[in-house]
């Protein structure tokens, strides 16, 4: 393990990561900001497949949520997440749970969460990533998206909200799995690397027991011509705005 401490560029918060393992990317930052307006003072939320805990860390820095949980199956990542919570003085608010999403009922958290978030494995098949940790984070080896949707529905209160980031090409499967799990898609934003190009990612909010009505928001563009971040992306990283 090659540990490093990275600055989250948010109120002095830092995160411990393993350079040889899976490190968080832009998608996690986008997801945290997408959910941000829904986090109320006193909220309880849980991040499914939290990795090294970047989403609970960002939301603990930016909100007055009462309790933030992260569920992670990999011991090494869960240990880093716990240490990062302590590094930032958040061990009283952030609790990292180690376990399998497919065995979510092992945790007595049914219908307790106001929000659930997930940046799940994107890939069903294809070339596997190097290293077991990266493979588990990127490929549906230990869980499918349907497993994630079922777990989110179990955890959420009635009318609770589920936020996710995923590959745009998986949209039809995602909507089908959400609806079968009692989660109604309500808000969708596509993420494009550049204007005029097809979407690569999607950000989606679903409501437990919600009525059918989907709002499709303006696209989020990541890069300007010349390869520099758009002003909206920069404002998100600076913590000046949310999606």
Model pLDDT for residues 1-35, shown as the tens digit of each residue: 788 999 998 889 999 998 877 788 899 999 999 99
12 Rama sector, left if φ>0, alpha if ψ -120 to 50, beta otherwise: left
Residue 183: the pLDDT is 98
Model pLDDT for residues 129-161, shown as the tens digit of each residue: 555 555 655 655 668 999 999 999 999 999 999
> Chain centroid to CA 144: how far?
15
Give the Cα separation of 146 and 137 in Å (integer): 16
The CATH classification of domain 3-238, taken from the options 3.30.1360.120, 3.40.50.150, 1.25.40.340, 3.20.20.70: 3.40.50.150
User: Is 29:236 a contact under the CB 8 Å cutoff?
Assistant: yes
Domain ranges across the chain: 3-238
Model pLDDT for residues 173-212, shown as the tens digit of each residue: 999 999 999 999 999 999 999 999 999 999 999 999 999 9
Give the Cα separation of 178 and 170 in Å (integer): 12
Model pLDDT for residues 75-133, shown as the tens digit of each residue: 999 999 999 999 999 999 999 999 999 999 999 999 999 999 999 986 676 555 555 55
């Amino acid at each position: 393990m090659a540990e490093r401490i990275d600055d989250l560029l948010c109120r002095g918060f830092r995160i411990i990561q393993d350079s040889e393992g899976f490190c968080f990317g832009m998608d996690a930052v986008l997801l945290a900001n997408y959910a941000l307006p829904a986090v109320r003072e006193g909220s309880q939320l849980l991040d499914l497949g939290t990795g090294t805990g970047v989403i609970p860390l960002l939301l603990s820095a930016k909100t007055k949520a009462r309790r933030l949980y992260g569920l992670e199956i990999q011991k090494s990542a869960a240990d880093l997440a716990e240490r990062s919570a302590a590094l930032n003085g958040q061990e009283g608010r952030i609790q990292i749970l180690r376990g399998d999403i497919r065995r979510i009922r092992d945790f007595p958290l049914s219908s307790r969460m106001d929000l659930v978030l997930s940046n799940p494995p994107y890939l069903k098949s294809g070339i596997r990533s190097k290293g077991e940790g990266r493979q588990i984070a990127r490929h549906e080896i230990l869980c499918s998206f349907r497993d994630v949707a079922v777990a989110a529905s179990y955890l959420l209160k009635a009318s609770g909200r589920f936020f996710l980031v995923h590959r745009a090409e998986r949209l039809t499967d995602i909507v089908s799995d959400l609806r079968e799990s009692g989660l109604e898609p309500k808000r969708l934003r596509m993420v494009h690397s550049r204007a005029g190009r097809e979407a690569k990612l999607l950000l989606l909010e679903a409501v437990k027991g919600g009525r059918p009505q989907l709002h499709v928001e303006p696209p989020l563009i990541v890069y300007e011509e010349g390869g520099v971040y758009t002003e909206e992306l920069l404002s998100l990283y600076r913590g000046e705005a949310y999606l």
